[in-house]
Amino acid sequence: MIHARGLTRVFKVKKERVEAVRGIDLDVEAGQLVAFLGPNGAGKSTTLRMLTTLLPPTSGTATVAGRDVARDPAGVRARIGYVGQRNSAGEGFLVRDELVTQGRCYGLGAREAAARADELLDLLDLAPLARRRPGTLSGGQRRRLDIALGLIHRPDLLFLDEPSTGLDPKSRADIWQHILRLRETYGTTLFLTTHYLEEADSMAERVVIIDNGRIIADGTAGQLKNDLAGDHITITTSTEEEARRAADLGGGAADGTTVCLRVPNAAAALPDHLRTLDGAGIKVTAAETARPTLDDVFLALTGRSLTDDDIPA
Protein backbone atom coordinates (compact mmCIF):
# COMPACT_ATOMS: atom_id res chain seq x y z
CA MET A 1 0.00 0.00 0.00
CA ILE A 2 3.00 2.28 0.69
CA HIS A 3 6.39 1.65 -0.89
CA ALA A 4 9.02 4.35 -0.42
CA ARG A 5 12.66 4.19 -1.44
CA GLY A 6 15.28 6.75 -0.48
CA LEU A 7 12.59 9.33 0.22
CA THR A 8 14.32 12.61 1.02
CA ARG A 9 13.28 16.19 1.66
CA VAL A 10 15.64 19.07 2.13
CA PHE A 11 14.39 22.56 2.96
CA LYS A 12 16.45 25.62 2.20
CA VAL A 13 15.83 28.47 4.58
CA LYS A 14 17.98 31.45 3.59
CA LYS A 15 21.47 29.94 3.66
CA GLU A 16 20.54 27.06 5.94
CA ARG A 17 19.90 23.55 4.61
CA VAL A 18 17.47 21.52 6.71
CA GLU A 19 17.56 17.80 5.94
CA ALA A 20 14.11 17.00 7.27
CA VAL A 21 13.85 13.46 5.85
CA ARG A 22 17.02 11.60 4.88
CA GLY A 23 16.41 8.67 2.60
CA ILE A 24 13.53 6.69 4.04
CA ASP A 25 12.71 3.15 2.86
CA LEU A 26 9.27 1.99 3.94
CA ASP A 27 6.82 -0.75 2.97
CA VAL A 28 3.33 -0.90 4.44
CA GLU A 29 1.02 -3.73 3.43
CA ALA A 30 -2.74 -3.40 2.97
CA GLY A 31 -4.72 -3.52 6.21
CA GLN A 32 -1.86 -2.64 8.56
CA LEU A 33 -2.19 -0.14 11.39
CA VAL A 34 1.16 1.63 11.62
CA ALA A 35 2.13 4.19 14.25
CA PHE A 36 4.86 6.59 13.16
CA LEU A 37 6.71 7.90 16.20
CA GLY A 38 9.49 10.35 16.78
CA PRO A 39 10.46 13.43 18.76
CA ASN A 40 9.57 16.98 17.69
CA GLY A 41 11.23 17.87 14.40
CA ALA A 42 12.12 14.23 13.59
CA GLY A 43 10.50 14.40 10.15
CA LYS A 44 7.10 12.77 10.74
CA SER A 45 4.90 15.47 9.19
CA THR A 46 7.30 16.02 6.30
CA THR A 47 7.19 12.29 5.50
CA LEU A 48 3.41 12.29 5.72
CA ARG A 49 3.17 15.35 3.50
CA MET A 50 5.34 13.68 0.86
CA LEU A 51 3.35 10.45 0.97
CA THR A 52 0.10 12.38 0.63
CA THR A 53 1.46 14.48 -2.29
CA LEU A 54 1.24 17.75 -0.36
CA LEU A 55 5.00 18.21 -0.69
CA PRO A 56 7.29 17.00 -3.50
CA PRO A 57 10.30 14.90 -2.39
CA THR A 58 13.75 16.35 -3.07
CA SER A 59 14.80 12.85 -4.14
CA GLY A 60 13.68 9.25 -3.82
CA THR A 61 10.44 7.59 -4.90
CA ALA A 62 7.17 6.55 -3.34
CA THR A 63 4.13 4.68 -4.57
CA VAL A 64 1.06 5.08 -2.42
CA ALA A 65 -2.11 3.06 -3.03
CA GLY A 66 -0.53 1.85 -6.26
CA ARG A 67 0.24 5.31 -7.72
CA ASP A 68 3.50 7.20 -7.93
CA VAL A 69 3.40 10.36 -5.79
CA ALA A 70 5.46 12.38 -8.30
CA ARG A 71 3.98 11.10 -11.57
CA ASP A 72 0.35 10.68 -10.53
CA PRO A 73 -0.44 12.84 -7.49
CA ALA A 74 -4.12 13.08 -8.47
CA GLY A 75 -4.31 9.27 -8.60
CA VAL A 76 -2.83 9.05 -5.10
CA ARG A 77 -5.21 11.67 -3.73
CA ALA A 78 -8.25 9.90 -5.13
CA ARG A 79 -7.27 6.75 -3.24
CA ILE A 80 -6.15 8.07 0.12
CA GLY A 81 -7.63 10.08 2.96
CA TYR A 82 -5.63 12.57 4.99
CA VAL A 83 -6.62 13.90 8.40
CA GLY A 84 -4.23 16.71 9.23
CA GLN A 85 -3.61 18.44 12.52
CA ARG A 86 -5.93 21.29 11.66
CA ASN A 87 -9.68 21.05 11.27
CA SER A 88 -10.78 20.28 7.75
CA ALA A 89 -14.41 21.41 8.03
CA GLY A 90 -15.36 24.98 7.19
CA GLU A 91 -17.97 26.95 9.09
CA GLY A 92 -20.31 27.53 6.17
CA PHE A 93 -22.22 24.26 6.32
CA LEU A 94 -23.91 22.06 8.88
CA VAL A 95 -22.05 18.83 9.73
CA ARG A 96 -23.99 16.55 7.39
CA ASP A 97 -24.03 19.12 4.56
CA GLU A 98 -20.27 19.51 4.86
CA LEU A 99 -19.85 15.75 4.45
CA VAL A 100 -22.21 15.64 1.47
CA THR A 101 -20.52 18.64 -0.18
CA GLN A 102 -17.04 17.16 0.21
CA GLY A 103 -18.38 13.85 -1.15
CA ARG A 104 -19.67 15.69 -4.22
CA CYS A 105 -16.24 17.33 -4.60
CA TYR A 106 -14.80 13.82 -4.89
CA GLY A 107 -17.24 13.08 -7.68
CA LEU A 108 -19.91 11.13 -5.78
CA GLY A 109 -23.45 11.51 -7.09
CA ALA A 110 -25.95 13.37 -4.87
CA ARG A 111 -27.64 10.23 -3.59
CA GLU A 112 -24.36 8.38 -3.09
CA ALA A 113 -22.81 11.32 -1.21
CA ALA A 114 -25.85 11.55 1.08
CA ALA A 115 -25.78 7.80 1.77
CA ARG A 116 -22.06 7.86 2.46
CA ALA A 117 -22.46 10.88 4.77
CA ASP A 118 -25.13 9.04 6.77
CA GLU A 119 -23.03 5.89 6.95
CA LEU A 120 -20.07 7.85 8.34
CA LEU A 121 -22.24 9.85 10.75
CA ASP A 122 -23.33 6.50 12.19
CA LEU A 123 -19.87 4.94 12.22
CA LEU A 124 -18.35 7.90 14.03
CA ASP A 125 -21.33 8.48 16.36
CA LEU A 126 -21.98 11.89 14.85
CA ALA A 127 -25.61 11.33 13.81
CA PRO A 128 -27.08 13.37 16.71
CA LEU A 129 -24.79 16.26 15.68
CA ALA A 130 -25.66 16.18 11.97
CA ARG A 131 -27.45 19.53 12.07
CA ARG A 132 -24.86 21.37 14.16
CA ARG A 133 -22.22 23.75 12.80
CA PRO A 134 -18.65 22.43 13.13
CA GLY A 135 -17.69 25.40 15.32
CA THR A 136 -20.13 24.27 18.03
CA LEU A 137 -18.57 20.76 18.40
CA SER A 138 -16.24 19.69 21.20
CA GLY A 139 -12.60 18.89 20.38
CA GLY A 140 -13.23 15.14 20.26
CA GLN A 141 -16.42 15.50 18.19
CA ARG A 142 -14.60 17.78 15.78
CA ARG A 143 -11.78 15.28 15.40
CA ARG A 144 -14.35 12.59 14.61
CA LEU A 145 -15.80 14.87 11.94
CA ASP A 146 -12.30 15.32 10.48
CA ILE A 147 -11.94 11.55 10.31
CA ALA A 148 -15.35 11.22 8.65
CA LEU A 149 -14.31 13.82 6.06
CA GLY A 150 -11.10 11.91 5.41
CA LEU A 151 -13.16 8.78 4.67
CA ILE A 152 -15.90 10.30 2.52
CA HIS A 153 -14.52 8.95 -0.79
CA ARG A 154 -13.89 5.43 0.57
CA PRO A 155 -10.10 5.55 0.58
CA ASP A 156 -8.12 2.32 0.95
CA LEU A 157 -5.55 4.12 3.05
CA LEU A 158 -6.01 6.81 5.68
CA PHE A 159 -3.21 9.02 7.00
CA LEU A 160 -3.82 10.62 10.39
CA ASP A 161 -1.45 13.27 11.74
CA GLU A 162 -1.65 13.26 15.56
CA PRO A 163 -5.32 12.18 15.71
CA SER A 164 -5.50 12.22 19.52
CA THR A 165 -3.25 15.17 20.39
CA GLY A 166 -4.86 17.96 22.37
CA LEU A 167 -7.77 15.82 23.57
CA ASP A 168 -8.52 14.86 27.17
CA PRO A 169 -7.86 11.19 28.08
CA LYS A 170 -11.51 10.17 27.68
CA SER A 171 -11.78 11.74 24.21
CA ARG A 172 -8.44 10.18 23.25
CA ALA A 173 -9.73 6.74 24.19
CA ASP A 174 -12.92 7.47 22.28
CA ILE A 175 -11.02 8.50 19.11
CA TRP A 176 -9.04 5.27 19.30
CA GLN A 177 -12.19 3.24 19.66
CA HIS A 178 -13.49 4.87 16.47
CA ILE A 179 -10.22 4.38 14.62
CA LEU A 180 -10.27 0.67 15.48
CA ARG A 181 -13.92 0.43 14.53
CA LEU A 182 -13.40 1.94 11.09
CA ARG A 183 -10.53 -0.44 10.51
CA GLU A 184 -12.70 -3.37 11.46
CA THR A 185 -15.60 -2.14 9.32
CA TYR A 186 -13.72 -1.18 6.15
CA GLY A 187 -10.30 -2.87 6.51
CA THR A 188 -8.73 0.54 5.85
CA THR A 189 -4.94 0.70 6.05
CA LEU A 190 -4.02 3.27 8.71
CA PHE A 191 -0.79 5.20 8.98
CA LEU A 192 -0.73 7.65 11.86
CA THR A 193 1.66 9.80 13.80
CA THR A 194 1.34 10.14 17.54
CA HIS A 195 3.24 11.56 20.48
CA TYR A 196 1.55 9.18 22.89
CA LEU A 197 3.82 6.18 23.28
CA GLU A 198 1.34 4.13 25.31
CA GLU A 199 -1.25 4.52 22.55
CA ALA A 200 1.17 3.37 19.87
CA ASP A 201 2.22 0.50 22.11
CA SER A 202 -1.26 -0.81 22.83
CA MET A 203 -3.11 0.03 19.60
CA ALA A 204 -0.74 -0.26 16.64
CA GLU A 205 0.42 -3.60 15.31
CA ARG A 206 3.52 -1.99 13.90
CA VAL A 207 5.64 0.87 15.20
CA VAL A 208 8.05 2.83 13.01
CA ILE A 209 10.37 5.20 14.85
CA ILE A 210 11.99 8.13 13.07
CA ASP A 211 14.73 10.32 14.48
CA ASN A 212 16.63 13.06 12.76
CA GLY A 213 15.05 12.23 9.39
CA ARG A 214 15.97 8.51 9.49
CA ILE A 215 14.01 5.41 10.44
CA ILE A 216 15.82 3.92 13.42
CA ALA A 217 13.40 1.13 14.40
CA ASP A 218 10.56 -0.77 12.75
CA GLY A 219 8.61 -3.72 14.14
CA THR A 220 5.87 -4.70 16.54
CA ALA A 221 6.02 -2.91 19.88
CA GLY A 222 6.77 -6.26 21.53
CA GLN A 223 9.65 -7.05 19.16
CA LEU A 224 11.21 -3.63 19.56
CA LYS A 225 10.99 -3.80 23.34
CA ASN A 226 12.44 -7.32 23.52
CA ASP A 227 15.18 -6.77 20.95
CA LEU A 228 16.24 -3.26 21.80
CA ALA A 229 15.38 -2.48 25.40
CA GLY A 230 14.96 -5.63 27.50
CA ASP A 231 13.28 -5.92 30.91
CA HIS A 232 14.42 -4.12 34.05
CA ILE A 233 15.22 -5.46 37.50
CA THR A 234 15.42 -2.80 40.19
CA ILE A 235 16.70 -3.74 43.63
CA THR A 236 17.01 -1.63 46.75
CA THR A 237 19.71 -2.26 49.36
CA SER A 238 20.12 -1.00 52.94
CA THR A 239 23.15 1.14 52.17
CA GLU A 240 24.72 2.94 49.20
CA GLU A 241 27.89 0.88 49.69
CA GLU A 242 25.87 -2.33 49.25
CA ALA A 243 24.22 -0.92 46.13
CA ARG A 244 27.65 -0.21 44.62
CA ARG A 245 28.80 -3.75 45.45
CA ALA A 246 25.58 -5.19 43.99
CA ALA A 247 26.20 -3.30 40.73
CA ASP A 248 29.84 -4.51 40.59
CA LEU A 249 28.75 -8.08 41.20
CA GLY A 250 25.54 -8.41 39.20
CA GLY A 251 25.81 -5.55 36.71
CA GLY A 252 23.62 -2.49 36.27
CA ALA A 253 23.94 1.07 37.50
CA ALA A 254 23.75 2.09 41.17
CA ASP A 255 21.93 5.28 42.12
CA GLY A 256 21.83 5.83 45.88
CA THR A 257 20.53 2.63 47.39
CA THR A 258 18.91 1.34 44.18
CA VAL A 259 20.43 -0.60 41.31
CA CYS A 260 18.77 -0.88 37.91
CA LEU A 261 19.75 -3.74 35.64
CA ARG A 262 18.67 -4.62 32.08
CA VAL A 263 18.01 -8.30 31.34
CA PRO A 264 16.17 -10.20 28.58
CA ASN A 265 13.63 -11.84 30.91
CA ALA A 266 13.43 -10.21 34.33
CA ALA A 267 10.96 -12.61 35.96
CA ALA A 268 13.19 -15.61 35.13
CA ALA A 269 16.46 -13.85 36.03
CA LEU A 270 15.38 -12.36 39.38
CA PRO A 271 15.65 -15.44 41.67
CA ASP A 272 19.24 -16.20 40.54
CA HIS A 273 20.19 -12.57 40.83
CA LEU A 274 18.88 -12.38 44.39
CA ARG A 275 20.69 -15.62 45.35
CA THR A 276 23.98 -14.21 44.01
CA LEU A 277 23.59 -11.01 46.02
CA ASP A 278 22.53 -12.92 49.13
CA GLY A 279 25.58 -15.18 48.76
CA ALA A 280 27.79 -12.08 48.79
CA GLY A 281 26.14 -10.87 51.99
CA ILE A 282 24.28 -7.98 50.31
CA LYS A 283 20.96 -7.31 52.02
CA VAL A 284 18.24 -6.59 49.44
CA THR A 285 15.27 -4.78 51.00
CA ALA A 286 13.07 -4.59 47.87
CA ALA A 287 13.11 -5.94 44.33
CA GLU A 288 10.88 -5.35 41.36
CA THR A 289 10.77 -6.18 37.68
CA ALA A 290 9.40 -4.04 34.85
CA ARG A 291 8.68 -4.53 31.17
CA PRO A 292 10.28 -1.88 28.96
CA THR A 293 8.29 0.90 27.32
CA LEU A 294 8.70 2.30 23.82
CA ASP A 295 10.50 5.19 25.47
CA ASP A 296 13.09 2.69 26.75
CA VAL A 297 13.49 1.55 23.13
CA PHE A 298 14.11 5.12 22.00
CA LEU A 299 16.48 5.69 24.90
CA ALA A 300 18.44 2.53 24.04
CA LEU A 301 18.74 3.64 20.42
CA THR A 302 19.52 7.32 20.86
CA GLY A 303 20.50 7.94 24.48
CA ARG A 304 17.59 10.40 24.67
CA SER A 305 14.03 10.12 25.96
CA LEU A 306 11.10 10.71 23.64
CA THR A 307 9.19 12.18 26.53
CA ASP A 308 11.75 14.98 26.93
CA ASP A 309 9.79 16.61 24.14
CA ASP A 310 7.05 19.08 24.73
CA ILE A 311 3.84 17.23 24.13
CA PRO A 312 1.25 19.63 22.83
CA ALA A 313 -1.48 20.03 25.46
Ligand X SMILES: Nc1ncnc2c1ncn2[C@@H]1O[C@H](COP(=O)(O)OP(=O)(O)OP(=O)(O)O)[C@@H](O)[C@H]1O
Site for ligand X, rule CB under 6 A: 11, 13, 18, 20, 38, 40-46
CB nearer to ligand X: give 13 or 313: 13
Beta carbons of 156 and 80 less than 8 angstroms apart: yes
CB-based contacts of 49: which residues, under 8 Å, 6+ apart?
Answer: 55
State the nearest-atom distance from the C-beta of 256 to ligand X, in Å: 35
**CB of 18 or CB of 268, closer to ligand X:** 18
**Beta carbon of residue 27, minimum distance to ligand X (angstroms, whole number):** 20
Q: Which helix (H) or strand (E) holds 17?
A: strand 16-28
Inter-CA distances, 100 with 124, 154, 283, 312, Å:
15, 13, 70, 32
Distance CA 26, CA 69 (A): 14
Whether 2 contacts 191, CB under 8 Å: yes
Angle at 23 between CA 228 and CA 219, to 5 degrees: 30
Q: How far is the CB of 43 from ligand X (least distance, A)?
A: 4
The distance of closest approach from Cβ of residue 80 to ligand X in the complex, given in angstroms and rounded to an integer, is: 18
Rank residues 22 and 245 by Cβ distance to ligand X and give the closer one. 22
Q: How far is the CB of 89 from ligand X (least distance, A)?
A: 22
Give the burial class of 261: count Cβ atoms within 10 A of its Cβ; 0-12 exposed, 13-18 middle, 19 or more buried. buried
Specify the residue, 182 or 210, whose C-beta has the smaller distance to ligand X. 210
> Residue 129 carries which side chain, given as an amino acid letter?
L
Report the residue number, 162 or 231, with the smaller CB distance to ligand X.
162
